[in-house]
Structure 1
Amino acid sequence: MTQMRAERRAASHPAMLDGTGLANALITESSIDDAVRAYENRMMPRSAQAAEDCRGTRPPHSPTDS
């Protein structure tokens, strides 16, 4: 499987994308602290977008329904 194909496949599974992103950062950065910072810098925009995409949506009959 090519790297690009693996990344596209991982993108459909956020936990896999997070895992591969952190693993890559741990391999390429000079320290664990730098790796975590690099990982967070890549993860935060994606997480913020996912949260925005979910904003205002909730399942029917959620606990906040009266």
Structure 2
Amino acid sequence: MFSRVLGRSPPPPAADSGRLVRRTDYEFLTSPQAREVLRQEDIAVIDYRTIQRVWSQIDDPR
């Protein structure tokens, strides 16, 4: 929220908000806090290549 009294800047234009969200997501996901949450919750982060390898090993159901 924009507030001249609190000295906050106005929100970015709609076109820039996507970049801002991606940047802040990236900053969190690469942070020590995120690594700790993943470790505590026993979550494995994988990329699409891992899924493709698994799919390629599954027999075609036809």
Flag the structure with higher helix content.
1
Q: What TM-score do you get using the length of structure 1 for normalisation?
A: 0.31
Q: What TM-score do you get using the length of structure 2 for normalisation?
A: 0.32
- Structure number with greater CO (CA < 8 Å, separation at least 6) is 1
For the pair shown, the structure with the greater C-alpha radius of gyration is 2
